[in-house]
């Protein structure tokens, strides 16, 4: 499978775009930067979006993406998310006050977007790619995903503090090629990381003790003001399996 990193950060600045992956050019995982990175034609190719949770750095481009593809896509854009995420997005984003309700435009029978509620650990197969939502530990209900195609598997989790199920699934997945995980704040901001349920290099190091296999661990969702300090602290861990997920790069697994 091809995984293109459109946005690899937990916030926005000149160099940092918000969390968003594009899988095989057609399926988006989170929607932090679809409209900022892709041409309109490339956006029209995206027919499905899976969301980890409803925070702004993960859904930011959704309103503008929907507007850009409106009337150009053959059918409604499918949006898969947990019941809690669907509720929040309907109530706070596509509520006609913040942005029009595109589940009723142009009309409710043929809408521009359709929400589908996903369940923890119930796999979804989309275009031959299997996505299994894994519950993680964040401020609000949030999922990481086990992504599988043609015998290779990747685990991608964005926002989470110390967690357990993700590592259990990583340990039991035989053909796991990589794990992508949150490293939002530097160690000095540990109290903020703790109350907001994110990881720092030091809590990441503790988390990695739960991983019983050797695979590349790709770090992402760095908060833009913390990037330099996080990179320095991760270097000091001297763990050869740790890399940073590279924004703009296309990975093949």
Q: Does 55 bind Zn ion (CB under 5 A)?
A: yes
| Closer Cβ to Zn ion, 63 or 141, answer by number | 141
- Closest Cα partner for 176 from 201, 156, 196, 203? 156
- For the CA atoms of the chain, what is the radius of gyration? 17
Least CB distance from residue 71 to Zn ion, whole Å?
31
Least CB distance from residue 119 to Zn ion, whole Å?
20
Q: Does 80 bind Zn ion (CB under 5 A)?
A: no
Q: Does 30 bind Zn ion (CB under 5 A)?
A: no
Q: Does 233 bind Zn ion (CB under 5 A)?
A: no
| Closer Cβ to Zn ion, 148 or 159, answer by number | 159
Separation between Cα atoms, residue 139 and residue 195, nearest integer Å: 8
Q: Does 148 bind Zn ion (CB under 5 A)?
A: no
Print the binding letters for residues 154-183 with Zn ion: x by CB under 5 A, - otherwise.
Answer: -----x------------------------
Beta bridge partners of 251: 3
Number of residues near Zn ion (by CB under 5 A): 4
| Closer Cβ to Zn ion, 55 or 143, answer by number | 55
Least CB distance from residue 52 to Zn ion, whole Å?
8
Beta bridge partners of 129: 126
Q: 187: number of CA atoms within 13 Å, CB side?
A: 12
Q: Does 198 bind Zn ion (CB under 5 A)?
A: no
* Stretch of 9-17, 60-68, 116-124, 126-134 lying at the interface with Zn ion (CB under 5 A): 9-17
Q: Does 207 bind Zn ion (CB under 5 A)?
A: no
| Closer Cβ to Zn ion, 106 or 225, answer by number | 225
Least CB distance from residue 185 to Zn ion, whole Å?
12
Taking CB under 5 A as the criterion, the residue among 7, 8, 10, 201 binding Zn ion is 10
Taking CB under 5 A as the criterion, the residue among 30, 57, 148, 207 binding Zn ion is 57
Separation between Cα atoms, residue 66 and residue 71, nearest integer Å: 9
Between the alpha carbon of residue 121 and those of residues 19, 27, 90, 145, 169, the distances in Å are 22, 19, 23, 9, 10
| Closer Cβ to Zn ion, 8 or 10, answer by number | 10
> Do residues 136 and 163 touch, judged by C-beta distance below 8 A?
yes
| Closer Cβ to Zn ion, 216 or 224, answer by number | 224
Q: Does 143 bind Zn ion (CB under 5 A)?
A: no
Question: What residues line the site for Zn ion (CB under 5 A)?
Answer: 10, 55, 57, 159
């Amino acid at each position: 499978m091809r995984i293109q990193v459109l946005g690899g950060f937990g916030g926005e600045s000149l160099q940092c775009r918000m969390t968003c992956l594009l899988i095989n050019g057609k399926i988006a995982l989170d929607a932090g930067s679809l409209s900022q990175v892709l041409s309109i034609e490339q956006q029209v190719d995206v027919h499905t979006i899976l969301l980890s949770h409803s925070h702004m750095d993960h859904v930011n481009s959704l309103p503008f993406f929907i507007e850009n593809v409106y009337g150009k896509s053959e059918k409604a854009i499918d949006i898969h998310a947990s019941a809690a995420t669907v509720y929040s997005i309907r109530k706070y984003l596509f509520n006609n006050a913040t942005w029009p309700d595109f589940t009723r435009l142009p009309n409710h029978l043929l809408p521009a977007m359709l929400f589908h509620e996903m369940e923890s650990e119930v796999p979804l197969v989309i275009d031959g790619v299997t996505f299994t939502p894994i519950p993680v530990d964040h401020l609000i209900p949030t999922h990481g995903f086990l992504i599988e195609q043609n015998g290779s598997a990747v685990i991608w989790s964005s926002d989470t503090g110390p967690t357990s199920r993700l590592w259990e699934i990583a340990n039991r997945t035989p053909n796991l090629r990589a794990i992508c995980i949150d490293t939002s704040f530097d160690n000095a901001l540990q109290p903020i990381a703790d109350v907001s349920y994110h990881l720092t290099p030091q809590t990441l190091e503790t988390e990695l003790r739960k991983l019983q296999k050797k695979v590349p661990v790709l770090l992402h969702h760095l908060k833009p003001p913390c990037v330099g300090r996080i990179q320095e602290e991760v270097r000091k861990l001297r763990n050869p399996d740790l890399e940073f997920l590279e924004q703009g790069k296309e990975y093949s697994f």
